Each structure stands twice: as C-alpha cells, then as structure tokens.
Amino acid sequence: MLGPLGNVSVPMTWNRRVDLFVATIAAVFAQAVSAQPPAGRGSPPAAPLSFQVIAPTKLFSHPDATSPVIAGLRPGDVVQLGPGAQRGRLFPVRAPGGQSGWVDGRLLVPPGMPNLAALTETSVNYEALLARTESKYPKCGSAKHYRWAAKVSAPDNQDPGALTVATILSTWQPPSIDVGQSLAAWCVPRIAAEDRTFALTGYVTRIKRAETDGDWHIELVTHGSAVTNCVVAEIPSPTYAAGFAMARTDLLAKVAAAGATIDGNGDLSKPVQVTLVGDAFYDGWHTNSSGSPVGHGRCNSSPRALWELHPVFVVQQ
C-alpha cells in the first residue's frame, strides 16, 4: 500500500484544471474506443480466442479449484476461451478433447508468445510485443488493451498528492496482482494503491514520442541519479482528449524554457525538472515469468520501477 502523502500546494486555477480533467477523462476514453460501427445483419460470430497452456494444470468442472477435475492439461495444449466471465483466476475454456471446464488463467498465454522466462530487454521489444498480440486477448472493458478498464477508471481521490521519483523507487511496493502476459494478468482491475492522483516531481531525461500505442513515454529521475534509476510517465494520444495535447505542449515548453534539446532517440541534452499530474498505475506487462522487470524503457531497476503515472493529464507551469 502507498504511504500517506501530503497534498500539493498549487494555484486554484491549476487545481480546478486537474479536477475538471480527471472528472471527465474516463468517459472520454471510453467513448473514443467504443465508437465502433454496428455489425451488419448476418455477420458471422467471432471465432473463439485460443490460448496455450504453459505449465501442467487441471481442467476443473466448476469455477472452483476444489471442484472435480475433468482432465489434465499439458504445456503446449491449446484451449478455446468459452463464453461467460472469469471467476477469480479461473476462466471458462474448451479443452482439446472437447471437454468444457475452468482453467487457471495464470497458465494461459496466446499461442506463439515467446518464452516468457527468457525475455530480456534486448531479446524483445515489449511495446511491439503488446501491439502484436493484444488482438489475441479478450476485451478489457471497451477495448483490447492491457488493463484498459483500469486505465480509464478515474480514481476517487482527485486532490493530487505530492510525490517524488525517490519515494516510488525506495518505498512503493509492487502490488499483489498478477503480472506479465498471462490471461489472468490482462484485465486486472484498478486496485486501492492505484486509486490516487499524484503530482510527481522529477527530472526528465527522455521523451519518446513515437511509441506503438501512441503514448508519449517520459522517463524521470532524481536530480543527479543515473538515467537507469528512473520511473515512467505516459501522456496518451490527444485523440482521446484535447487535454492531452495541452499536456504535451506544456511539457515541450518546459524543456525549451530550460534550454534543453531532444535528440532522435528522445534523450534530452540535459535533465529538466517538471511536475506531472496523473494517476498511479502499475505496468505489470513489462515483467517476465521470473518476476523481473524488462522492456520498460531504461526503467528496470526493480519491480518498484514499474509504477507509473499513467495517464498524465497536466504539466505544472
């Protein structure tokens, strides 16, 4: 759990801007991604999604791990996701032998997923992996994006709490949620530790503006620390809300005012101090099966570094 933090002292106009933006962001996100044309009459039903078993497990008769076992499943077996909602970590599936039952989603990944235990920063681009495989997962809320329902649910507490990079990396603990690329980790709802809006102060060292998901990837450090001792903040595409365009413009203005430049890789010529306002979010996608953080830009110093500010909707002026 996050420790109690004081509130940021900011001008009333800025507080009002934060409150108004947070109050509307969930609705704007949901509308933007759910505006799909209706299916035509007679459209064939969507094919069931398939998942591959990655470790020996059991097919249970009911959504209860103490219920009778229908069959055993082996690594490499492919099951089809059945109708109905998950129950805890158990998902309804149809086994290769035709039996229907329930399987632990922590042991299911889309077919063709790389060896999760072997994934490293250099062996795979995690953002590209996400873009390539997200269509193989079910919808999480209104879209097929990792933890989308959590990302678009605005926290109850909209009064930004003061926060630093050092606080995250030294005191915030990884939450007790499923992480990685398993079916169970795909749509974990927002948890209590993420139910806060924060004003994060740090020094920006990198702004990557061409991520595959359309977000701006921002890396922040404590003054004087190594660039790898960082945390990530993300500003989503303005297609979701005009406020994101303002946040991006304000961030670039801060960089320019500090006399810094940004190279082709997104690295700043010198660190620039900023305060970003947004929601706490744990990006467990960037985790291999051994629990190590990988592919999270340069911010893989520990599982704590997977805490993000996402989305960022205000850059303090």
> 151-189: per-residue pLDDT in tens?
877 676 668 899 999 999 999 999 999 998 899 999 999
What is the reported pLDDT for 257? 97
What is the reported pTM?
0.84
Label residue 18 by pLDDT band (50, 70, 90).
low
Label residue 38 by pLDDT band (50, 70, 90).
low
Give the number of other CB atoms < 10 A from CB of residue 219: 25
What is the reported pLDDT for 152? 78
Under DSSP, the state recorded for 304 is G
Average pLDDT over residues 43-53: 82
What is the reported pLDDT for 297? 81
What is the reported pLDDT for 7? 42
Give the number of other CB atoms < 10 A from CB of residue 200: 28
> Hey, where are the domains in the chain?
12-33+145-315
Which of helix, strand or coil describes residue 220? strand
What is the reported pLDDT for 17? 53
Q: What does the DSSP assignment read for 133-197? A: HGGGSPPBTTBSSTTHHHHTS--SEEEEEEEEHHHHHHHPPPPSS--SSSHHHHTPPP-GGG-EE
Query: What are the tokens at 91?
Result: 């998902």
Helix, strand, coil % over all residues of the chain, rounded to 5: 25, 30, 45
φ, ψ at 5 (rounded to 5°):
-125, 150
What does pLDDT average to over the chain? 84
Give the tens place of pLDDT for each residue, 234-275.
Answer: 998 898 888 899 999 999 999 999 999 999 999 999 999 999
**Over the range 125-151, which residues count as b (16 or more CB within 10 Å of their CB) and which as e?**
ebbebbeebbebbeebbbbbbbbbbbb
Average pLDDT over residues 86-97: 96
Which of helix, strand or coil describes residue 269? strand
